[in-house]
Structure 1
Amino acid sequence: MKELNDYPYIIYRQLPVLGEKNHPLCSSQEGWDFIYEDLKFAAEHLPTKDKVELGCLSSGAAYGMLARAMLYAERWKEASDAAAQVMNQDYELYEDYGKLFTNSRLVPVENKESVIEFGYLKDKFTYSFDYFYCPPSDGGYAEISPTEDLVSSYQMADGSEFDWDNPEMAANPYEGREPRFYATILYNGCQWKGETLYTYEGSKDGFGLGGGTTSTGYYMRKLMKEAIQPKGTSFTGQGDLTYYYMRYAEVLLIYAEAMAMQDKLPEALDALNQVRRRAGFTKDLTAATQTEFMKLLRHERKIELAFEGHRFWDLRRWGLASTVLNGTSMHGVKPIKVGDNEFTYEVVDIDGGKTRVWEERYARFPIPLGEIEQNEAVQQFDEWK
């Protein structure tokens, strides 16, 4: 339902009779009700986190998924109630945002932020994430380049906004930023695997359009294992970090959004500020209206959950994709070396002067052609005919 944005499914409450192909689609309401019933049943019958083995789903996991589902359904009371169930169990924010994403099953740590996780084990169940996304000097393919549009969204450590028009900030753009920036982004002059990483043109990890290296002046740090792939060795079988499908921080942000949409701003702000305090901010945010709060909430989800698979779906469910992703272009930063370890920075268009396109029909996917051909009771959506 999330991916297809209220896509009406066919619901089978019992095994279908063999050969019966023509089944009508359910309504959006019926689809969300079915999901609610399933997850609520699971949440009420699964054991709590403290009574399940590592890697097994708990009541908190089911309530977390229920909260996420109801957020997408815009059923705010059900979303906040489900999130509150998680908040009343044995979960809390891990104290260090950066270290959170370097946890490995091989070195168990007490981490009460994990709600649903995939734990990888070296030489048994591993991944090739670093191989595809790390800088080329590591032997990788650099297939993800964080945009300047994201990087500029990271605030200064004191909570003020970063601004390229501020001469002091522009001269040293990577000094004094909030801790989540350093845990998420590799930038020109940062330390990576015991060396200084440079992204100016001509360096081994330098800026360049066309693939194989950064096209924005940045690489991703979050979700990458700094100890992996020493020079001259293979990536094979080395990936063993924990990937979080759902974290307690997301649950707090779900609760915050759902409470705000019920005009309960004090509760919403408290949940939002819990996430920000863990990020190192000492001054709590305030908002007098729902509109003001949602601006803060959208920023926080963009930063806190970066590279965890939420941004696209958030923009679409908020109805913002048609403005953020349409008629716009993405940007990067080209470091220019002007002396020994001295640089200036130029913000550049990385889309070659072209603009991105988002059509209104992208708000939901078309029904697969194979489904229509096999089921006479199903018709394609008008916008996709």
Structure 2
Amino acid sequence: MKKNIIKILTATLFFVSSCSIDLVPTDRYTEEVIWDSKGSIELYLNGFYEEFRKFEFGRLSFIGNDNATDALTDLMKYTSNSAGRGTVNILASDASRYTATSPGISYWAAAYTRIRRINEFLFGLNNYAKITDNERLAYEAEARFVRGYIYFWLGRIHGSFAIIDTIEAHSSLGNDRSSEDDCWNFIASDFAFASEYLPKSWKTVSGGNFEGKVTRGAALSMLARTWLYAASIAEFDRKLYNEDSKTGISVEKAKTYYDNAIAAAKGVEQLANEGYYDLESNFAKIFTTSDNKESIFRINYVTKFITHQYDLGFVPPGDALGQALVYGVPTAEMVDEFEMADGSKFNWSNPVHAANPYQNREPRFYATILYNGATWKGRILNTTEGGGDDGFVLAGTTTDPRNTITGYYARKFLDPNNTSFVQNRSTQSWHEIRYAEVLLILSEAQILSGRLSEGKNTLNMLRRKRDLPEVVANTKEQLFKAIMHERKVELAFEGHRYWDLRRWRLAHLELNKVRFTGHKITSVGNLKSYETVSCDEKDREFIHRMYYIPIPVAEIQRNTTLKQIYGW
């Protein structure tokens, strides 16, 4: 098997029924050929990795033009008001767009199509494959990781879904939703199995370098993420937002699920102690350098063959005159969240801060945000009104401005050395799971389960690596607030914020009846003024029932046993 074959290599495989003439076709894969060769089995598995691309760079490929879920929150604002480039803006400001006919966020059909392929693979693997038991377990672990990941997304979106884990179940029309508790436990069982039988590193596996495959650390990380979500539902939902009989988790289970999250995260921490993972000192390089210790599971790309267009979508327009798309830009709320270098809170009411708002900020600010006066690709960015190619455009004055409407651009993920992305696209990796997130999961679970000193120490481990002072919080409420802040800053634009606010049951408070803002910067001689302006033309809307997105009505019609989530 060639090196790096897993870098999003998709194999198209066909199952064919037997016939009276016992010939092996040469123009397609048959079951006999697939299961007779480890090479074909691995190609079959590799095709499943394409599923991860639907979520790369914190975006959902099935919403408009790869719209980012962070733009549903206070982190980012998409610049366009038209469907496609601006679908996320429509969803953020109009709760009526979420219906059973058109759920707004709809992954159900695509998810179950892939789940069926995985279940077919598992059936063939366990009935036809001519391999050793250890090889069979490793292949099953890999497939179940992907299946768990798909079901994890269904859990994020719908809470309760139909559990289908055999090919026989796919042919039945009797698959109703399971309870939300059972759903999260099922997801956890897939990741737990994967963590038991996947290797710590594929570099030590004989037969080649399988860079890019999921590992034990990736499975444990997803297991920790899964249990944290389940614990959050138990802790914060309490049947306050939906009367469906199958949604919600008993509050009594929160402590157990936090403990499960801690155990899984501790497993990753042990791998870090063995040298597999670590926090990186240079925050910016995490997102442009593939081979770094912080990356636990990432999607790699190959120049000219497997690429993406993140740079084209998010660079300041001066990088590619007339061609940059400028999908989304950071809000003022996101920019103001970053601390000062000494760990104090940034405050526009502080005259020193207000006079030079982009000086002496924490290191992550400079790695995440492009601001007025920042040096970028050999030029000084001018994001003032009338500031030329990279200048500010007031929201609502044009349908598709392709310029900042907040005074900022997103720096994170952009490759500062890529000047040919218009022609050759981009190849920097997408890090689905990194060690910093695992520590944040561990810290949150420790704090909310009452292990305050442990949770504080875990959080401070991350802050020290980011060149920030330790938190001074001591109470459970203070430390939880510190965790929420840290996740907002550390994981900005990585696709977590919307789902965090949902699992904490804060979305209806933070994303409803509010408009987010930008900074209109005006130069007067050597002085600059910063006016807070709305980047939203309408109030945001998030109502209670949106915590459980409806199942597409077409799926209810197809499977009459499947019951819609209450309220839709």
Shorter-chain TM-score tier = over 0.9
| Cα distance in structure 2, aligned partners of 1:207 and 1:311 | 25
1:37 paired residue number: 189
Q: Cα 1:195–1:367, aligned 2, differ >3 Å: closer, same or farther?
A: same
Structure 1 residue ranges without an equivalent (≥5): none
Structure label with greater radius of gyration: 2
Q: Cα 1:305–1:318, aligned 2, differ >3 Å: closer, same or farther?
A: same
1:377 paired residue number: 561
1:286 paired residue number: 472
1:315 paired residue number: 501
Equivalent in 336, 356, 361 of residue 152 of structure 1: 336
- Residue 138 in structure 1 maps to residue 326 in structure 2: no
* Large movers: runs of 4+ above 3 Å: 1-6, 50-53
2:214 paired residue number: 57
Equivalent in 483, 486, 491 of residue 305 of structure 1: 491
Distance apart, 1:3 and its partner CA:
5.3
Aligned residues of 1:337 and 1:343 also touching (Cα < 8 A) = yes
Aligned residues of 2:309 and 2:426 also touching (Cα < 8 A) = yes
Equivalent in 34, 44, 48 of residue 200 of structure 2: 48
| Cα distance in structure 2, aligned partners of 1:86 and 1:306 | 22
Distance apart, 1:216 and its partner CA:
0.1
Q: Could you report, residue by residue, the CA deviation over 1:333-358 in whole angstroms, capped at 9, with x for unpaired residues?
A: 01101115x42211112224x32111
Which residue identity lines up with residue 163 of structure 1 in the other structure?
A: N
1:266 paired residue number: 453
Equivalent in 109, 127, 137 of residue 308 of structure 2: 127
SS at 1:26 equivalent = coil
SS at 2:296 equivalent = strand
Aligned residues of 1:128 and 1:236 also touching (Cα < 8 A) = no
Distance apart, 1:285 and its partner CA:
1.1
Q: Could you report, residue by residue, the CA deviation over 1:88-132 in whole angstroms, capped at 9, with x for unpaired residues?
A: 00211012111212214xxxx5x2211110112222221111111
Equivalent in 371, 374, 382 of residue 190 of structure 1: 374
Which residue identity lines up with residue 449 of structure 2 in the other structure?
A: Q
Aligned residues of 2:512 and 2:541 also touching (Cα < 8 A) = yes
1:84 paired residue number: 266
| Cα RMSD (Å) | 1.6
Aligned residues of 2:176 and 2:563 also touching (Cα < 8 A) = no
| Cα distance in structure 2, aligned partners of 1:17 and 1:45 | 25
Aligned residues of 1:2 and 1:313 also touching (Cα < 8 A) = no
SS at 1:348 equivalent = strand
Equivalent in 411, 436, 442 of residue 221 of structure 1: 411
| Cα distance in structure 1, aligned partners of 2:336 and 2:174 | 51
Q: Could you report, residue by residue, the CA deviation over 1:256-292 in whole angstroms, capped at 9, with x for unpaired residues?
A: 01111210011111111111111111x2113322111
SS at 1:347 equivalent = strand
Equivalent in 504, 519, 528 of residue 343 of structure 1: 528
| Cα distance in structure 1, aligned partners of 2:455 and 2:359 | 31
| Cα distance in structure 2, aligned partners of 1:65 and 1:155 | 29
| Cα distance in structure 1, aligned partners of 2:177 and 2:409 | 43
Q: Cα 1:378–1:164, aligned 2, differ >3 Å: closer, same or farther?
A: same
Structure 2 residue ranges without an equivalent (≥5): 1-151, 232-256
TM-score normalized by the length of structure 1:
0.93
Which residue identity lines up with residue 33 of structure 1 in the other structure?
A: N
SS at 2:530 equivalent = strand
Aligned residues of 1:2 and 1:69 also touching (Cα < 8 A) = no
| Cα distance in structure 2, aligned partners of 1:306 and 1:313 | 12
Aligned residues of 1:80 and 1:258 also touching (Cα < 8 A) = yes
Q: Cα 1:17–1:122, aligned 2, differ >3 Å: closer, same or farther?
A: closer
How many residues align structurally? 373
Q: Could you report, residue by residue, the CA deviation over 1:11-58 in whole angstroms, capped at 9, with x for unpaired residues?
A: 234222675313222111221221111111110111113636421211
Distance apart, 1:381 and its partner CA:
2.1
2:126 paired residue number: none
| Structure with the higher fraction of residues in helix conformation | 2
| Cα distance in structure 2, aligned partners of 1:4 and 1:61 | 19
Equivalent in 365, 369, 372 of residue 549 of structure 2: 365
Aligned residues of 1:185 and 1:218 also touching (Cα < 8 A) = yes
TM-score normalized by the length of structure 2:
0.64
SS at 1:117 equivalent = strand
Aligned residues of 1:96 and 1:278 also touching (Cα < 8 A) = no
Distance apart, 1:234 and its partner CA:
5.4
1:202 paired residue number: 386
Equivalent in 259, 266, 275 of residue 462 of structure 2: 275
